[in-house]
Homo-oligomer: A and B are copies of this chain.
Amino acid sequence: MTATVAHSSIEINQNNDAPMNSASEQVSPRANGRPRSEKSMQAILDTTNKMLLMTSVRDISIESVAKKAGVGKTTIYRWWPNKVALVLDAISGPMASLPAPVSGAKPKDLLEKQLERFARICRGRGGKIIAEVYAESQGHTETQALFFEKFMLQHEEILASILDQGKASGDFRSTLNTALTVDMIYGAFFYQLMSNPNPLDQNFANEIILESLRICK
């Protein structure tokens, strides 16, 4: 989904709020009744994360998570509509820890920083998980959208904002098609992750950063 961003001033680092589980978004004025069990939530998310280390997203089932977490299946279904939503929340904790690049620096440096940050997320099992959950979201529009919102939106906005900034300041060429460049860069990451059995290597990360700088100027 091509980012159609505005955000000229990057007071980015949006949602520096907590993991933002879809489960916890429920801010509605809850009536009485037993409150949600934080213990169960944590058990579910922890179990999911633990399983993700050894098992592909495809091979994880809601059923197995429930059993291992010592939790009723219903409890999971109550808070997450499907496996993708669950996994997205589970990994959002560990993933979101990396800070977004701050503004004020030179566009070139910002771009480098952001790509390094994204590459760091994608290294090791993490990148594989993201690719798998991305793949798993296919064929179901809402879930597809969920993946984008939960995971990619922030990165797209940041990158687009950096590119726009660079174009404005003259550091990047004015012919640069922001949205498309975002697609090409992140697309390259995913293409690499999804076509290669091995995890994303450092070499690729270095080269894509270099090449990105080249194609912008």
Q: Which residues of A contact B (CB under 8 A)?
A: 1-2, 56-59, 131-132, 134-141, 144-145, 148, 152, 175, 177, 180-181, 183-192, 194-197, 204, 207-208, 210-211, 214-215
Contacts and interface: CB of A to CB of B under 8 A. Distances in A.
A50 to B, nearest CB: 18
A107 to B, nearest CB: 17
A103 to B, nearest CB: 26
Contact of A145 (B134, B148, B189, B197): B197
Q: Number of copies of this chain in the oligomer?
A: 4
Contacts of A197: 141, 144-145
A202 to B, nearest CB: 14
B194 A191 contact: no
Contacts of A56: 138-140
A2 B204 contact: yes
Contacts of A186: 187, 191
